Amino acid sequence: MSDPKALTDDEWRERLTPDQYHVLREAGTERAFTGQYDEHFEAGSYRCAGCGELLFESDAKYGSGCGWPAFTRPAQSDAVEERRDISHGMIRTEVLCNKCGGHLGHVFPDGPPDQGGIRYCINSLSLDFEEKE
């Protein structure tokens, strides 16, 4: 995919399931404790379900108990973009895939203190998992 940010809404709808489209393209959120990667702790890599970009590695994943997959850091510093989100009457920091602009979730300052204190709270629907060989 040369420039996924150039895809039209119709092209995104063809590539993604309706639930993935809602999360990635409309900044939706899956219900807590329902995502396939919430309690998933296999070794491997988590990629953007929209464009395949490497986002997180399993060694940064931990069980936060929040109901969504939680990571302490992205795979590479430029893998994700963060921006202020004032929707729903809250002030949060949204996390997006830097390559395609897809909504991934939010980042919070309540992660493990010994690992930087950051929690990337990410929707399972925005991720694909690639098992480590």
**pLDDT tens across 81-127, in order?**
999 988 888 889 999 999 999 999 999 999 999 999 999 999 999 99
Could you confirm whether 66 is annotated as catalytic?
Answer: no
Degrees (nearest 5) of the Cα angle 7, 12, 17?
Answer: 165
What tokens were used for 133? Answer: 């060989």
Burial class, 102, CB count within 10 angstroms (exposed 0-12 / middle 13-18 / buried 19+) = buried
Indicate which residue of 48, 97, 100, 121 is catalytic.
Answer: 121
Domain map of the chain by residue range?
4-131
Amino acid of residue 45: S
How many angstroms separate the CA atoms of 116 and 22, rounded?
A: 31
Alpha helices in the chain (DSSP H): 9-15, 18-26
Domain 4-131 CATH assignment equals 2.170.150.20:
yes
**pLDDT tens across 10-52, in order?**
999 999 999 999 999 999 999 999 999 999 999 999 999 999 9
